[in-house]
């Protein structure tokens, strides 16, 4: 006789792909009730990381967990790290973002508190504009540079990102040329 999987085990499976985090919506999607989530919190199986986001305390943590939390905090399936945060993560610019930049869809609106350390951008991205950095959805280097061009990141930091991105194999020659031309147009204005 096959035993029904425990809610904890189902959530753990999800959490292993998200640095130990799981959302209330993901729990509901696999049939875990709000009551079961609360019970796991009371027992210490889960910790409340933010409204609607939980973390397994037994999952190893590191200095980048706050980045996954930023993406999951939005509760937007399309959310990803972007702009200067992405440039910093790919180590192609000396940019030092003051907050975690996250992009969500244009039509999505957030009405929750707790995101004081996040800058939320609204842009509809295609699947080929989103990649992964350390298991966290992150825009591609070319997309991050384009976003920073529009957002007003200083010219020298964008130029540095283009040069380092190409030298490190993160940008194709066509991307490098297109981005460099766009940077010159912006610089001339």
78-136 pLDDT per residue, tens: 999 999 999 999 999 999 999 999 999 999 887 766 678 899 999 999 999 999 999 99
From 81, 84, 79, select the one nearest 52 (Cα to Cα): 79
In-domain check, residue 110: yes
How many domains, in total, are found in the chain? 2
Instruction: Indicate the pLDDT class of residue 163, thresholds 50, 70 and 90.
Output: very high
Q: What is the pLDDT of residue 4?
A: 65
Q: What is the pLDDT of residue 20?
A: 96
Q: Are 37 and 45 in contact (CB under 8 A)?
A: no
Q: What is the pLDDT of residue 136?
A: 97
Instruction: Indicate the pLDDT class of residue 72, thresholds 50, 70 and 90.
Output: very high
Average pLDDT for residues 34-43, to the nearest whole number?
93
Same domain, 85 and 156: yes
For the entire predicted model, the pTM comes to 0.90
17-26 pLDDT per residue, tens: 999 999 999 9
Q: What is the pLDDT of residue 189?
A: 65
In-domain check, residue 2: no
In-domain check, residue 60: no
Same domain, 41 and 108: no
In-domain check, residue 137: yes
Same domain, 34 and 103: no
Same domain, 138 and 167: yes
Same domain, 127 and 47: no
Same domain, 40 and 77: no
Average pLDDT for residues 40-59, to the nearest whole number?
94
**How far apart, in whole angstroms, are the C-alpha atoms of residue 48 and residue 31?**
19
Q: What is the pLDDT of residue 104?
A: 96
| DSSP label at residue 135 | T
Q: What is the pLDDT of residue 73?
A: 94
User: In which domain, by residue range, is 40 found?
Assistant: 7-55
From 170, 185, 175, select the one nearest 93 (Cα to Cα): 170
Report whether pLDDT(158) > 90: yes
Same domain, 182 and 137: yes
Q: What is the pLDDT of residue 167?
A: 96
Q: What is the pLDDT of residue 186?
A: 80
Q: Are 145 and 129 in contact (CB under 8 A)?
A: no
Cβ burial, residue 127 (10 Å; 0-12/13-18/19+): exposed
21's tokens? 């985090």
Instruction: Provide the greatest CA pair distance for the chain.
Output: 72
Average confidence score pLDDT of the chain: 92
- In this structure, the dihedral spanned by the alpha carbons of residues 16, 26, 121 and 94, taken in order and rounded to 10 degrees, is -10
């Amino acid at each position: 006789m096959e035993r029904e999987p425990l809610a904890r085990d189902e959530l753990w499976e999800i959490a292993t792909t998200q640095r130990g985090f799981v959302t209330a919506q993901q729990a509901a999607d696999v049939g875990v009730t709000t009551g079961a989530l609360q019970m796991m919190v009371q027992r210490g199986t889960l910790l409340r990381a933010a409204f609607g986001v939980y973390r397994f305390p037994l999952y190893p943590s590191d200095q980048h967990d706050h980045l996954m939390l930023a993406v999951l905090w939005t509760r937007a399936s399309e959310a990803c790290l972007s702009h200067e945060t992405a440039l910093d993560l790919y180590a192609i610019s000396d940019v030092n973002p003051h907050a975690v930049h996250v992009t969500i869809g244009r039509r999505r609106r957030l009405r929750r508190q707790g995101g004081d350390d996040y800058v939320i951008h609204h842009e509809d991205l295609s699947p080929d504009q989103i990649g992964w950095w350390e298991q966290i959805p992150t825009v591609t280097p070319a997309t991050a540079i384009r976003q920073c061009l529009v957002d007003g990141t200083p010219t020298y930091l964008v130029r540095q990102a283009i040069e380092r991105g190409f030298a490190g194999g993160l940008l194709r020659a066509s991307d490098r040329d297109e981005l460099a031309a766009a940077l010159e147009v912006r610089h001339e204005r």
